[in-house]
Amino acid sequence: MKLSFHGADRSVTGSCHLVECAGKRILIDCGLHQGSRELDEENAGPFGFDAAGINYVLLTHAHLDHCGRLPLLAKRGFRGEIITTSASRELARLIMLDSAHQQEEDMRYRARRGGYDGARHDKNEPLYSTLDALNCLDYFGRTATYAQVIEVAAGVPATFIDAGHILGSASIFLELEEQSHRTSVLFSGDLGSAGRILLRSPAKPPHAENVVMETTYGDRLHKQLGPSIDEFYEAITETFKRGGNVIIPTFALERAQELLYYLSEGVTQGRLTKSTQVYLDSPMAISATEIFRRHPECFEPATAKLLQEGHDPFSRLRHVHRRPRAPPPPAQSRSRGFEHCVRRLRSHRDSCAPNYRRRQAGEHLRRGYSG
């Protein structure tokens, strides 16, 4: 068995690990490098292996830094099978199509400027297009179910274990046999914390001889959730009392749905006023919320029961379908998401609080729930 790393080594994005065993070449994740112009170049560079020679991809979860180079893999010749959970499959579709759109926007921006920023090998071509992302969907094959062994190939059983990180996320346990030598490897993927409200806590994995573990936040202690929620409700209530509105920047996937849940619970429990109106201004977050509704099997049992009884934690939601006023941002991925977020925040601030400049911070809570 041979194991090599083609991303998320010496960095925390671009997860891509190659297992070679029993004549098969199996990738664990194929994520996008994110964070700087240099990493853009790394995305456009060679994988370090032949895409056409990969037989299987096992996808731990649908965050961009774990699935974002799958369309590129297919574009460069991959014709094997991608295996993941049902929820990850739906979310990966959303994330990859959005990423392709961003790549195309970047290309158009560079074309408008008439320059070449050196971040692509071919200035007339995005890293991958919407068509490439759609083509990639054809390679999603069997669906993995938590805790059930799936025979990836002869002699390569895999088990997807609930990682409690985002909807559908999994650690992957591989049992490998080659020339009568047996071993096992556990790929942790990203792990969630225990005691979350929507998703189940990470399940305990089986004993493994080798563990490949991600440790992005491994050196931090998480704050206790209860006091944070109290603070959240207090901040909203105080702001409403002063006649203000609350604008919350957040990740579109998972964190947005958790916030929606807590807002709904706050009203149900009388900790927020009944007249609270919740608007969600993100096409991706809106789509992700719909996918959440379709996958109660991933939910923490008490939440799943509430859903079964007809209590919809997302029911207070009103969607905002509109285009941002400003043109697309510059093509630097370092600030793309952030700039986009800031522009939306300013747009909301101007429409919700025309006197903001005079009143400054007194009337509005601008609070980042993105960490």
Binding site for Zn ion (CB under 5 A): 63, 190
Phi-psi bin for 22: left (phi > 0), alpha (psi -120 to 50), beta?
left
CB of 170 to Zn ion, least distance (A): 11
Q: Which pairing describes strands 181-187 and 210-212: parallel, antiparallel, or unpaired?
A: parallel
CB of 277 to Zn ion, least distance (A): 31
CB of 199 to Zn ion, least distance (A): 12
Closer CB to Zn ion, residue 40 or residue 65?
65
CB of 243 to Zn ion, least distance (A): 38
Measured distance CA(18)–CA(57) in Å, rounded: 9
CB atoms within 10 A of CB 228: 12
Q: Do the Cβ atoms of 124 and 90 come closer than 8 Å?
A: no
Closer CB to Zn ion, residue 98 or residue 190?
190
Q: Residues 6 or more apart from 55 whose CB is under 8 A from it? A: 24, 25, 26, 80, 81, 153
CB atoms within 10 A of CB 45: 10
Closer CB to Zn ion, residue 183 or residue 201?
201
Q: 142 — phi, psi (to 5°)?
A: -65, 150
Q: Which pairing describes strands 24-28 and 17-21: parallel, antiparallel, or unpaired?
A: antiparallel
Q: Residues 6 or more apart from 65 whose CB is under 8 A from it? A: 8, 12, 13, 14, 15, 31, 32, 33, 34
Closer CB to Zn ion, residue 106 or residue 254?
254
Closer CB to Zn ion, residue 247 or residue 258?
258
CB of 320 to Zn ion, least distance (A): 26
Closer CB to Zn ion, residue 109 or residue 369?
369
- The amino acid that residue 176 corresponds to is L
Closer CB to Zn ion, residue 68 or residue 329?
68
